[in-house]
Structure formats: C-alpha cells, structure tokens
Amino acid sequence: MTTNIRYCQRCIMPETKPDLYIDDNGVCNACRQIELRPRVDWQARENELLEILKRYRNRQGGNYDCIVPVSGGKDSHFQVLRMLELGMNPLCITATTDKLSEIGRYNIENLKKCGVDYIEVTPNPVLRKRLNRLALTQVGDISWSEHVAIFTVPVRMAVQLGVPLIIWGENSQNEYGGPAAAANSNTLTRRWLEEFGGLLGLRVSDLTDAEGIEPKHLIQYTYPSDEQLQSAGITGLFLGYYLPWDGYQNALYAQAHGFRTYPQTIEGSLVNYENLDNCQTGIHDYFKFLKYGFGRATDLACMHIRRERISREHALKVVKLHDGKFPWSYLGCSLQEILADIEMTTEEFNRICDRFTNKKLFVCDSSGHLVKDARGNLTKINYDNVSCDHVKQPMVVGA
Ligand SMILES: [Zn+2]
C-alpha cells in the first residue's frame, strides 16, 4: 500500500520538504509565517535597522560601512540599492559561481554600475569541478560547494578587511518554511549555516582525503573560527527581517535599475527573473525534486499563492507543467555541456539520479522500477491532497 504525499492546503508545498511542518488545520509553517506579517511593526523594525547602521557607519571614511554578499541577482540589486539609499558605503563581494551564464555576468557588471566597490573571489575552478562531481555523487547536490562558499567567502573577507557588519538578504527559513526559532532569527550565525545553509550533513572537513583534496584547497570554503569572528566583532543581519521582503518586488526594483531577465520562463521554473547566474542550477533543482518531490516551480508558486498573486488551483496546473522536468538544459546550456565540465556522462548522471530518487514519491512499475516518459520525466504518485475516503484519486498522466 502506498501512502499519499500530503500537501499544505493553503499553498502547495508537500510535507516531504525538510523542516516543513503542516499543522492540524492543514496549513504549513511558511504560510503561518506570512499570516503574521501584517502584525509586524515594520516601521519599528526599520528604525531598528537605521540604529544598527548608524552604529556601524565608518565616520572617518577609512573603511567600508558594511559588506553585502552579492550574486548579481535581483535580491543583490535590492540589498545594494537599499544600502546606498540609506547612506551606507558597502563593499560588495561575490563568491564566483559554478558555471556562470552570460546573463549572470551582465547582471554582475550592472550591479557595479549602481556605484559600489566590488570584489569577486574565485575559488580554484579546477578543484571546484571536482567538488561539484564529488558532492553530486555523494550527497546528490551539485551546488553543495557553491552553497558553502557563498556563506564562507563574505565572512572571511569581513574578518580580513575589518568590516564587521554583513548585510545578507532574506532568511530562507522564513520564506520557505523552517523551525520557528530559525524563522524569527535576524542574524546569520555559524549554527544557522550548519543547520540550514544546505550542507546536507556533508561538512567541509569530510572532504579532505577525498579524491586528492587537501586542506590547502579548501581555504575559501572554511568558516572563520569563533575567536576570529569575535575579535573582529562580526555580525550578519538578514535584511528580510527589517524590511518586508518580496522577491518579485525586488525583481521589479532591480529591473528599473538595469537588471536583465531571461527572455522566457527558465527551465523547471515559473519565472524569468531569478537563478539566472549558474547553469548548474537546473541539476540542483532537479535533485530536490527527486529527493523531496518538489522543485523550483513549487517554491515560486507557493510564494505567489501566499501573496495572493495566483490561486492554489492555477498554481497546481502550472506547477505540474514545469516542476521537476528532466534537466535537459538550463538557461539554454545543454545538460551534456554542463556534465562534460565535471567529467560525467549522461548515463552516469542518470544512475546518480535514480540512486537519489525517493521511490515512495514516484510511480514505479510492478518490479519497482521508476516509470519515465520519453523525455525521462517521472510522475509523482499524487499532485494534491487525496481525500481520506479515497473518493477520487487524482489520476496521473505522463507529461
Ligand atoms: Zn503552505
């Protein structure tokens, strides 16, 4: 007997999402978090932010007021523009992504034109490809090293340059649903990073000795020690705690300042304005679908449902069209080209996909093998809640 996937009755997030909790009324913690928003005294929070910024502003102008970690995306633009509007002198820092797209490079250059100093730190790209391969094979996440570096690189720079204030964007636990304590938090700490930063139980220290990787290769992936953080007085704030955060509004704001979007809906997504920089993102999102039964399209649909920009009913339809499709290409870059970079064949990739697929979530044949259509797409056992009395099970037809 198969157990159906249970979904939040308000958005369409499945309970298989790590750290998502659906309450007795069938509503998930991310939807509950949004309910609280109108009750937040945003003016008080903004005042709190202004106080903090005032404290950290460098009066002599001898150093930067804060560090803003940026990828060049819509949220980066929003963070940087807001800091400039609030009279701050930020230093922008990018940890170079895995496989930077043309549009990603364009947007980084555009961000600099907002009028900021900018440093790009590029961890060794030869080693990075090895890490990508290793992490995809071992934990089913090609983006593991990127997700480590985007947190470690800016913090390392903050320590080295003596700029204690780091302005992060949103708290992903807040928007996407996570433990309440983490969602209410306004600071990014080592503990937050280890629990929610996407490390999947694989620690940087686990990598040494793996495929000839030595500690000297992992400098940029190493978080500063507690002593270093303390003596430099490092504080990382989530801007999304102080200002009402909305990715779509950030995109509109960024576009008004020259940020470029993709000409069509991005593969596996519902929109054209985010995750434009790394061609490996399609693989990353696909593995999320294989492991947990939801992809980027579900994330986006849920955000738009919560903000009443799309109905739950319409969201279900469009998500079924786009979510979790086999990642033949991303931002127009072919899967073969992306895999060639990490010295992997499509056959090997398919084997890894199957190994990380949670077979309980997808239709299998009588011998327990995953059923795939001609394009390699899987079918979920159910795409919405199934009523307890089994009146009508939503029938699933191959795409
Ligand atoms: Zn929900």
Residue 128 backbone phi and psi in degrees, to 5: -60, -40
Q: What is the mean pLDDT of residues 175-179?
A: 49
Rounded to 5 degrees, φ, ψ at 179 are -55, 140
What's the 303 CA to ligand 1 centre distance in angstroms?
9
Residues 2-33 have pLDDT tens digits of: 689 999 999 999 999 988 999 999 999 999 98
Q: How far apart are the CA of 288 and the centre of ligand 1, in A?
A: 18
| Residue 97: predicted pLDDT | 97
**What band does 214 get if pLDDT is binned at 50, 70 and 90?**
confident
pLDDT at 198: 52
Residue with token string 């790209």: 125
d(CA 87, CA 50): 10
**pLDDT > 70: percent of the chain:** 87
Query: Pairing between strand 235-238 and 165-168?
Result: parallel
Q: Contact at 8 Å (CB) between 152 and 364?
A: no
pLDDT of residue 390: 46
Across 196-223, average pLDDT: 74
Q: Is the overall model pTM greater than 0.95, yes or no? A: no
Q: Tell how far the Cα of 11 is from the centroid of ligand 1, in angstroms.
A: 4
Q: Rounded to the nearest whole angstrom, what is the distance from the C-alpha of residue 172 to the centroid of ligand 1?
A: 15
Confidence check: pLDDT of 374 > 90: yes
Predicted pLDDT at 184: 56
Give, to the nearest 10 degrees, the angle between helix 29-36 and helix 296-306: 30
Chain centroid to CA 74: 13
CB environment 263-292: b (16+ within 10 A), e (fewer): eeebbbbbbebbbbbbbbbbbbbbbbbbbb
Question: Does the structure show a pLDDT above 50 at 248?
Answer: yes
Q: Per DSSP, which regions of 75-200 are E strands?
A: 90-95, 117-121, 165-168
307 CA from centroid of ligand 1 (Å) = 11
Q: Which residue has the higher pLDDT, 205 or 66?
A: 66
Query: With 80 as the cut, is the pLDDT of residue 174 above it?
Result: no
Residue 229 has pLDDT above 90, yes or no: no
* Distance between first and last Cα of the chain: 25
Q: How far is the CA of 13 from the centre of ligand 1 (A)?
A: 6
- CA geometry: angle at 240 spanning 235 and 246, to 5°? 155
pLDDT digits (tens, 9 = 90+) for 139-151: 899 999 998 999 8
* Structure tokens given for 123: 């961890």
How close is the Cα of 28 to the center of ligand 1, in Å?
Answer: 4
What rounded mean pLDDT belongs to the chain? Answer: 90
Q: Which of 331, 328, 327, 393 is nearest to 363 (CA)?
A: 393
| pLDDT value of position 37 | 86
Q: Is the pLDDT of residue 388 over 80?
A: no
Residue 287 confidence (pLDDT) above 50: yes
Q: What spacing in Å lies between the alpha carbon of 302 and ligand 1's midpoint?
A: 7
Closest among 202, 225, 227 to 213, alpha carbons compared: 202
Residue 333 pLDDT greater than 50, yes or no: yes
Per-residue pLDDT of 74-91, as tens digits, reads 999 999 999 999 999 999
Distance 34 CA to ligand 1 centre (A): 9
pLDDT (average), residues 160-172? 90
Bigger pLDDT: 77 or 235?
Answer: 77
Alpha carbon of 23 to ligand 1 centroid (Å): 10
The SS3 call for residue 121 is: strand
Kindly indicate the confidence band of residue 211, based on its pLDDT and cuts at 50, 70 and 90.
confident
Q: What pLDDT shows up at residue 172?
A: 64
